[in-house]
Amino acid sequence: MAKYLVIVESPAKVKTIKKFLGANYDVEASNGHVRDFPKSQFGIDVEHDFEPKYITIRGKGELLAKLRKAAKKADKIYLATDPDREGEAISWHLMQALKEDPKKMHRITFNEITKTAVKSSIKQARDLDMDLVDAQQARRILDRLVGYKLSPFLWRKIRKGLSAGRVQSVAVKMICDRENEIRAFVSQEYWSIDGKFSANGERKTFAAKLNTVDGEKPELKNKEQADEILKRLEGAEFVIDKVKKSVHRKSPAAPFTTSTLQQEASRRLSFQARRTMKTAQELYEGVEINDMGQTGLITYMRTDSLRISDEARAAAYDFIRKKYG
List, by residue number, the catalytic residues.
300
Q: What are phi and psi of 158, to 5 degrees?
A: -120, -75
Q: What are phi and psi of 52, to 5 degrees?
A: -80, 150
Angle between helices 85-98 and 61-73 (to 10 degrees): 80
Whether 240 and 264 have beta carbons less than 8 Å apart is answered as no
User: 96, 79, 97: which is closest to 88 by C-alpha?
Assistant: 79
* 3-class DSSP assignment, residue 300: coil
**How far apart (Å, rounded) are the C-alpha atoms in residues 109 and 132?**
13
- Amino acid symbol at 39: K
**How far apart (Å, rounded) are the C-alpha atoms in residues 80 and 77?**
9
**How far apart (Å, rounded) are the C-alpha atoms in residues 42 and 44?**
6
